[in-house]
Amino acid sequence: MSSGSQLPKRTRMQQNKPLLIGVGQDFRGDDAMGLLLVRKLKPILSSVWDLVESNGDGTLLMELWKDRECVYIIDAVSGPKEPGELYHFSAHESIPPADWFRTSTHHWGIAEAIEMSRVLQTLPKALFFWGIEGRIFTHSDELSPEVNAAMEELEVLLLQHAQL
């Protein structure tokens, strides 16, 4: 997978379909969770949702959710809870703290993109963030057992949201 977000062609995407954005980095342990879950759900949900992978770059995220009504973002986070804990935020109510995301200090990410979209009044009508507390963010091609179990729980929740 490339290091940047894959911007789908607008001709193939329908803006009235919900958009699921899986955020992460391959080979960074739990950080790959968002990408892996989108890959797993794509064959199941692609008829009712648009699904894309992203590295979490804020500018590209804003472009992805531009003119969308409903967006779901999934990512591994490094917050205050135990590995495997599930977080859920509605961007119109609150956003996860920027320091939960494992990015470089020069990277403009999810929290900043949500806040900027709020200021610019371009935030989708419904934007939901689902995060899983990670444990391993170093070079690894495996998820921790805690994140793997939580990913299965999140899969069920997303399928419920899709009404499948």
pTM: 0.86
Contact 3, 55 (CB under 8 A): yes
CATH topology of domain 19-136: Rossmann fold (3.40.50)
pLDDT by residue for the chain (164 residues), tens digit each? Answer: 444 455 444 445 566 899 999 999 999 999 999 999 999 999 999 999 999 999 999 999 999 999 999 999 999 998 889 999 999 999 988 776 666 665 544 478 899 999 999 999 999 999 999 999 999 999 999 999 999 999 999 999 999 999 86
Task: Give the sheet arrangement for strand 86-90, strand by strand.
Answer: 50-54, 19-23, 70-77, 126-133, 86-90
> Where exactly are the structural domains of the chain?
19-136
